[in-house]
Structure 1
């Protein structure tokens, strides 16, 4: 199901990119990716329902990824609004999707079982070394991209 959600988000990005570029082939490709993702999601959901694995589908990770997918779709709608006179409605739609995704992301409750499972997982995994830390690498990547953008 996660792959289907990722395909849907990529399809939305391609679709909005096609609208931005005003390219019909890109718009159709984005729409096809969205349809393929939705059909795949539906079939996986239906198969899990038949097998009785709906508890697995109600897990917090699926809800979190779905919420993040809505946030990403909102960002894409807000940033890749089509050029022209009516960009405000696309930007408001993107803002609405962002707020909706944040609402669903923050509104998720965790059970005691989920908290104990996450605590056990944290206890099993070793701590990060200093060179594995994103706190180190994010500024380095930003500096490299800034330098490259100045040179080009």
Structure 2
């Protein structure tokens, strides 16, 4: 998560870009994940690039670019505004090495559900849960828990 100072810098950048666009300048785009092989990026972003920018997960409608002016939405977004109203059974699956693990802990702490479990897969990263070994462990756990909530897994 960006620091407050980094968020302010992003918002200043957005303000300048929006002012420029209002004066007729062209929109400016930036990649949302680094290039494949960029070792200067955090591990989670390197793995995201390996997924989203290669045949593993690449899609022609996802060209790895976003408007610079969209950064303000990222700064102001939180997925936790209403989780205190989340009362349904909840299983949160996360990797122990995921940079996003803190999100899972926060969701677990704030969700109102009386039936919740935080299932952490040892050694898994965030992207491992997409199509790596972690995804198999996650699905095995999820399918095993469904009957307890009167849900059934059916193959097509």
* TM-score for both structures, normalised by structure 2: 0.24
Higher strand share: 2
Higher helix share: 1
* TM-score for both structures, normalised by structure 1: 0.24
